[in-house]
Structure 1
């Protein structure tokens, strides 16, 4: 299986890369990001190709050749919620929305395997496809404009898949608070707001990898479903 990882240097992306490198089922990995990846364990480094792109909207012929005929993509590139409060909106939009749409388009158009690309997008628990909601209620936790952008992006991704004539399948995963690795001694979770569910990073990633290999279970994928799938699959990827 050939896997593309969008954003392999972030908190979730690093774990996607680690588990993918350890999986014998994944024979080829291509990472896309603005910074080069760092791999501590180089045992399976031969199956990794790293693409560093200064502008994620434009793919060169060489980039297209490297990502061509991918079986699945796990996409984590976005401006983080906390950084969005201090980052100009045009940059947030470019990185979060424009890079994502350019990525799914390049992957889909370069896929000639005769079966659909599985595009797994890392969304968030608060995201919905209701564009009639009052986005101002999010002004204490994130930019209302940014929240609206991410809600709209899910709609755009679903629409892209629907219009692809079967070339791509989409899954928007909506995790709650993503906790660090469970085995760290003395780890205490932060004060998570009431009503926000939690998921271990390893479980979240294992769920995404399982769907990338075996097939997408549903869209969108809730935090609880990701926990269930990830806990069952973790031993497979570890």
Structure 2
């Protein structure tokens, strides 16, 4: 199985790359990013990791993307979006996602081709609503989910799903556990460690999507059910 990871230098992307190298079901890992992707240090890799499976590709090398999209990263987080012009945010979070999906499908991948879109629990698909948290950004991410799913429905052999985590934690520890509990108590979002999130995402693309969407509670549950 070939795995293509976009945003491979990001917080979640790096962990997905790290774990994917140890998954025997995955024979090839293509890591896409705007900046160079480094091979993880040997001491950080899981047992059985095979770094020869990794191929790093800079987004700017892809002719399928427009020049504007090639200059951008493949995602902007809610916090970072405040520092960008809205048209830039829309191009990066929406337009380039759909362009990337189309480019991958047009390349003739093996079927089923599974596309897991990393979104967020606050993304709102119902465009008639006004979310409380960063409404413009949340609606944009929700509409991106809508169009990703519509594209999959219109193309045979394409399966799509949105993973919608809440707070993503860097790791374990009492302090982080306490922070996660506080966030859940205040917002209702279920926190998840980035290691658990990456593992669940890999399980889903390898074995098939359990459901759509994968909400924060689903991701936490799946991590607990298939814990190491």
TM-score range, shorter chain: 0.7 to 0.9
Counterpart among 116, 127, 131 of residue 131 in structure 1: 127
Unpaired stretches in structure 1, ≥5 consecutive residues: 61-75
Contact kept? 1:9, 1:35, Cα under 8 Å: yes
For the structure 1 residues 214 and 93, does the alpha-carbon distance in structure 2 shift closer, same or farther, using more than 3 Å as the test? same
- Bigger relative CO (Cα 8 Å, ≥ 6 apart): 1
Counterpart among 142, 145, 156 of residue 154 in structure 1: 145
Counterpart among 63, 79, 86 of residue 83 in structure 2: 86
Alignment of 1:108-187 (within 5 A): 108-113=105-110, 115-135=111-131, 137-138=132-133, 142=134, 144-164=135-155, 166-182=156-172, 187=176
Contact kept? 1:121, 1:170, Cα under 8 Å: yes
Q: Please state whether the residue corresponding to 2:32 is helix, strand or coil.
A: strand
Query: Whole-Å Cα distance in 2 between the matches of residues 202 and 48 of structure 1?
Result: 19
The structure with the largest helix share of the pair is: 2
Alignment of 1:1-238 (within 5 A): 1-41=1-41, 44-54=50-60, 58-59=64-65, 77-113=74-110, 115-135=111-131, 137-138=132-133, 142=134, 144-164=135-155, 166-182=156-172, 187=176, 189=179, 192=183, 193-235=186-228
Structure 1 residue 56, shift from structure 2 partner: 7.0
TM-score by length of 1: 0.81
Unpaired stretches in structure 2, ≥5 consecutive residues: 43-48, 67-72
Q: Which residue of 2 aligns with 1:63?
A: none
- Aligned Cα RMSD in Å? 2.3
Q: How many matched pairs?
A: 212
Between 43-52 and 184-193, report the one with greater CA deviation: 184-193
Contact kept? 1:117, 1:168, Cα under 8 Å: yes
Query: Whole-Å Cα distance in 2 between the matches of residues 220 and 172 of structure 1?
Result: 5
Between 154-163 and 184-193, report the one with greater CA deviation: 184-193
